[in-house]
């Protein structure tokens, strides 16, 4: 029998409730490898198919942002301040924390994160 650990994350619990209406938030994690998320980006949309009206990012040079209580509290405060009803969140990391076109050329692999450049 497999034992499942329950998530202690309030943010993850909100995401598990599913879609409940707008405004909705998207939460995406990024990191230099699959082992550690060093960046989380949270966008808020007001309608289906709409572009994010707000985008906020949090970073950590040493810890995993998915397990940082201070960052989670800041995200929850951000969501509450903007009346977010629904939260959609990734289970894993979406990729490199460096921004294409800002920190490295568009269309190229990030030179700082060789893990994500592998095929």
Domain assignments of the chain as residue spans, ordered by start:
10-117
pLDDT above 60 for 107 = yes
Peptide bond into 23 cis (omega under 30): yes
pLDDT above 60 for 5 = no
Reported pTM? 0.84
- The architecture that CATH gives domain 10-117 is 2-Layer Sandwich (3.30)
* 14, 87 contact by CB (below 8 A): yes
Rg for the chain, CA atoms, rounded: 15
What gap in Å lies between CA 3 and CA 48, rounded to an integer? 37
The pLDDT score that the predictor gives to residue 119 is: 44
The pLDDT score that the predictor gives to residue 28 is: 95
Percentage of the chain surpassing pLDDT 70? 92
């Amino acid at each position: 029998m497999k034992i499942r650990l329950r998530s202690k994350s309030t943010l993850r619990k909100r995401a598990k409730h599913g879609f409940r209406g707008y405004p909705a938030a998207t939460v995406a994690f990024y990191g230099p490898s699959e082992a550690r998320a060093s960046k989380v980006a949270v966008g808020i949309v007001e309608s289906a198919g709409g572009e994010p009206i707000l985008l906020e990012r949090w970073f950590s040079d040493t810890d995993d942002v998915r397990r940082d209580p201070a960052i989670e509290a800041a995200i929850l405060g951000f969501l509450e301040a903007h009346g977010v009803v629904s939260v959609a969140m990734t289970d894993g990391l979406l990729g490199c924390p460096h921004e294409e076109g800002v920190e490295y050329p568009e269309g190229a692999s990030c030179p700082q994160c060789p893990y994500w450049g592998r095929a």
